[in-house]
């Protein structure tokens, strides 16, 4: 069976933990991951997660692999301006692409078909190849422009999963709330996980 490959982008919205947790679970599943981060995304990672990933692409990849304790064979990194990366082509499209968190600026440019950077180009590839594109917007309140862009993308069969944790599973920590959102993302991407108790299931004792 072929190895599943995913693309994950972290943009400049608050909520970088969603992207990191998603990456961790994808790698845990045995799939290969290509990680993309915008300049603003790196700033949020530093501000919210104390991760100062900087340097040339090879150095940043090594830092990312060290953070996740994963073999570099399983994790690729490309700079946001690297439009020659394999994933920029439909012939090398991933099984699914996730943008978590997704800023309203990135969402707008994806909705408009703007391929100004590698993240936007990869999202465009997913739409044209009719492969899963999952966006996790983290903004509130939402204005009419935001809502119209989400509707436009939903009509193109992108999945919009706002960072809205549920409470029926009685979260006990911020991690529990993050895991609920990430679990819903992974459900949509077809990645098995055990991050939260589903409706009707007994509560877990290992939290």
CATH number of the domain to which 99 belongs: 3.40.50.1950
Q: What is the pLDDT of residues 64-121, one digit of tens each?
A: 999 999 999 999 999 999 999 999 999 988 999 999 999 999 999 999 999 999 999 9
77 labelled ligand-binding: no
pLDDT of 205: 61
CB atoms within 10 A of CB 54: 10
198 labelled ligand-binding: no
Tally the residues of the chain: 207
112 labelled ligand-binding: no
What is the rounded CA–CA span in Å between residue 173 and residue 200?
21
Number of domains in the chain: 1
14 labelled ligand-binding: yes
In a domain, 205, yes or no: no
In a domain, 202, yes or no: no
pLDDT of 168: 87
Q: Which residues pair with 160 in a beta bridge?
A: 135
Domain hosting residue 108, numbered range: 5-189
Nearest of 189, 170, 176 to residue 99 by alpha carbon: 189
What is the rounded CA–CA span in Å between residue 11 and residue 196?
25
In a domain, 203, yes or no: no
In a domain, 204, yes or no: no
50 labelled ligand-binding: no
In a domain, 194, yes or no: no
pLDDT above 90: residue 199: no
In a domain, 206, yes or no: no
In a domain, 197, yes or no: no
13 labelled ligand-binding: yes
Q: What is the pTM of this model?
A: 0.94
Q: Which residues pair with 135 in a beta bridge?
A: 99, 160
In a domain, 112, yes or no: yes
1 labelled ligand-binding: no
104 labelled ligand-binding: yes
184 labelled ligand-binding: yes
97 labelled ligand-binding: no
């Amino acid at each position: 069976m072929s190895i599943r490959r995913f693309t994950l982008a972290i943009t400049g919205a608050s909520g970088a933990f969603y992207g990191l947790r998603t990456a961790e679970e994808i790698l845990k599943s045995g799939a290969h991951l290509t990680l993309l981060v915008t300049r603003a995304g790196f700033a949020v990672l530093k501000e919210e997660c104390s991760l100062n990933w900087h340097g040339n692409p090879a150095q940043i990849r090594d830092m990312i692999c060290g953070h996740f304790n994963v073999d570099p064979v399983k994790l690729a990194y490309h700079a946001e301006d690297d439009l020659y990366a394999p994933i920029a082509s439909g012939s090398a499209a991933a099984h699914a692409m996730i943008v978590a968190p997704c800023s309203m600026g990135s969402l707008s440019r994806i909705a408009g078909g703007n391929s100004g950077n590698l993240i936007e180009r990869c999202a465009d590839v997913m739409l044209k190849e009719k492969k899963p594109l999952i966006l996790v917007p983290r903004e509130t309140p939402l204005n009419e422009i935001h809502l119209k862009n989400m509707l436009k993308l939903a009509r193109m069969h992108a999945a919009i999963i706002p960072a809205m944790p549920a409470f029926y599973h009685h979260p006990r920590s911020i991690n529990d709330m993050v895991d609920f959102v990430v679990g819903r993302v992974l459900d949509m991407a077809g990645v098995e996980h055990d991050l939260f108790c589903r409706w009707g299931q007994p509560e877990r004792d290992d939290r």
